[in-house]
Structure 1
Amino acid sequence: MKFTLPIFDVKNLSFGVRNQNILSNISFEIFSAEYIAIIGPNGGGKTTLIRLLLGLEKPTNGEIRIFGKRVQDFKDWYKIGYVPQRATHVDANFPGSVEDVVNMGRTSQRKLFSKMSEEDKESVIDAMHKMDVYELKDKMIGTLSGGQRQRVMIARALASKPEILILDEPNTGVDMVSQKKFYALLKELNTKEKITIVFITHDIGVIADDIARLFTINQKAIICNNPKETLSCEEMSELYGIEAHLLYNHKHEH
């Protein structure tokens, strides 16, 4: 049983737009150092849930608390690193280096127009090393491969030294080799740095390999505390609305 304060405490959360329910009566907690995947069909409410957790949308009903504070009162957003959908889609002509992009992750720590402190610079360098992009720091972001851009965007999120990292479909447009490296880096952040990881994914194979808990979202939420034992073809068929066949030989090399 956990007695520590959860990072996220969500109770009876609902959200709707123009009389259409997108999320209905969802409750869960996310604790420090957890490793969680969120899956579900397109339009099932996964991204909407993340936007609600980040205070980017207001719930129709229910309550969200972050580190014990109501989401509308929460101010310490640097504690939460966020990599949105399509973050790797960068204009090839974007006039910024890898280091410039990662520097953006420190803006919430500084006053407007203030110079970077030594602490800022050290945090940026540390984040680039963690994501194995330090050697690329002078490269223009638009010239990098999809996998490299992916790691740069995560480094930007890590630059604020967050306690939790939230990633929305981070592997979109990324090749298989880069995906394997990505999952290895995520697991290292979770196990060695004790950063809480929450990511939306369509990669069912990784679920049984690494994560501790699985949230399935299709308007309502089902929380699986042991994904290896809990996932079944019947549950996936109900979730996605089609006949599902799961393969468990998908292993990621670390």
Structure 2
Amino acid sequence: MSLKFAPSLFEVRDLNFTRGGNEILKSVNLSILEGEYCAIIGPNGGGKTTLIRLLMGLEKPTSGSIKLFGTEQNKFRAWNRIGYVPQRSALVDATFPATVREVVAMGRYAGRGILGFETSEDAEAIEESMEQMGVSDLRDRLIGHLSGGQRQRVMIARALASHPQVLIVDEPNTGVDVESQHRFYELLRLLNKTKRIAILFITHDVGVIAEDISKLFFVNQTLLLSQTPQQMLRCDQMSRLYGTPAHLVSHNH
């Protein structure tokens, strides 16, 4: 009997990206497998967000290839399999005229289109994602009237409404207090362990996530990759990544 292996959720080979004559990313190779818990770190301007946008098809590579679920990106159509929370999404204008439920319902658009009618399946998925993120009681509140931590959970609920197999989050803690940050990481762990949703997120807070993630990507134009964060959390590697002498301090709690 032959064994069948599931394709990588993302498979990137020899990826290069140039904008305005400036080389933003070069020779990037990476893969993300089903159920993995991955983080991207690196200096500002190093290409972290650009890499995410390339994976999502929001930017086109100068050269190289990207496969999603084994399919070439230009032929991929099942975007509902990917949940995406962009950078600064929790920073919402106080006058934005949408309720929590309306915002979460936007996560179903990829499956039915913005002009499609909401089905009973849509309604069930919306309720489930709000319950998962603990925002069901906020359903009728305007999104702009919530705290930063509450808005963050609403945006995650919106991404989960399509029942994705991978969740991508860019700088999730912008505008969020420390307590909400810790609750957020607990939510990511729970989603990864209980729902087997693969997680990929950008962060500067290496200490909080180092013990939990399975794969750490260091991005500074090119990419340094470790299967486990413990293999890469060394002064010489961090100095190379950030382009300045770095010293790591271990805190035992």
TM-score bracket for this pair, using the shorter chain length: over 0.9
Unaligned runs of 5+ in 1: none
Structure 1 counterpart of 2:70, one-letter code: G
User: Is structure 2 residue 219 aligned with structure 1 residue 238?
Assistant: no
Which of 53, 59, 63 does residue 61 from structure 2 map onto? 59
Describe how 1:215-226 pairs up with structure 2 within 5 A: 215-226=217-228
Aligned to 1:115: 117
Please give the secondary structure, in 2, of the residue aligned with 1:142: helix
Q: 1:15 to 1:185 in 2, by over 3 A?
A: same
What is the deviation of 1:111?
4.1
Unaligned runs of 5+ in 2: none
Which of 88, 103, 126 does residue 105 from structure 2 map onto? 103
Aligned to 2:41: 39
Aligned to 1:199: 201
Please give the secondary structure, in 1, of the residue aligned with 2:75: coil
Please give the secondary structure, in 2, of the residue aligned with 1:107: helix
Aligned to 2:188: 186
What is the deviation of 1:215?
0.3
Aligned to 1:165: 167
Which of 64, 69, 72 does residue 70 from structure 1 map onto? 72
Q: 1:112 to 1:178 in 2, by over 3 A?
A: closer
| TM-score normalised according to structure 2 size | 0.95
Counterpart CA distance in 2 for 1:241 and 1:250 is 27
Structure 2 counterpart of 1:225, one-letter code: Q
1:170-228 residue CA offsets vs partner (Å, 9 max, x unmatched): 11111110011100000000000000000000111123221111000001111111112
Q: 1:97 to 1:250 in 2, by over 3 A?
A: farther
User: Is structure 2 residue 90 aligned with structure 1 residue 88?
Assistant: yes
What is the deviation of 1:115?
1.9
1:231-251 residue CA offsets vs partner (Å, 9 max, x unmatched): 112211111112222233387
> Does the 8 Å CA contact 1:105/1:159 hold for their aligned counterparts?
yes
Count how many residue pairs are aligned between Structure 1 and Structure 2: 250
Show structure 1 runs of 4+ deviating over 3 A: none
1:2-42 residue CA offsets vs partner (Å, 9 max, x unmatched): 94310111100000112211101111111100000000001
Counterpart CA distance in 2 for 1:31 and 1:40 is 22
Counterpart CA distance in 2 for 1:31 and 1:103 is 28
When the two chains are superposed, the root-mean-square deviation of aligned CA atoms in Å is: 1.4
Please give the secondary structure, in 1, of the residue aligned with 2:94: coil
Counterpart CA distance in 1 for 2:28 and 2:252 is 30
Counterpart CA distance in 1 for 2:218 and 2:184 is 22
Describe how 1:145-164 pairs up with structure 2 within 5 A: 145-164=147-166
> Does the 8 Å CA contact 1:208/1:228 hold for their aligned counterparts?
yes
Counterpart CA distance in 2 for 1:77 and 1:160 is 9
Which of 16, 20, 23 does residue 21 from structure 1 map onto? 23
Structure 1 counterpart of 2:80, one-letter code: Y
> Does the 8 Å CA contact 1:103/1:156 hold for their aligned counterparts?
yes
Aligned to 2:130: 128
Please give the secondary structure, in 2, of the residue aligned with 1:209: coil
Structure 2 counterpart of 1:201, one-letter code: T
Structure 2 counterpart of 1:188, one-letter code: L
Higher mean C-alpha displacement, 49-58 vs 104-113: 104-113
Q: 1:247 to 1:137 in 2, by over 3 A?
A: farther
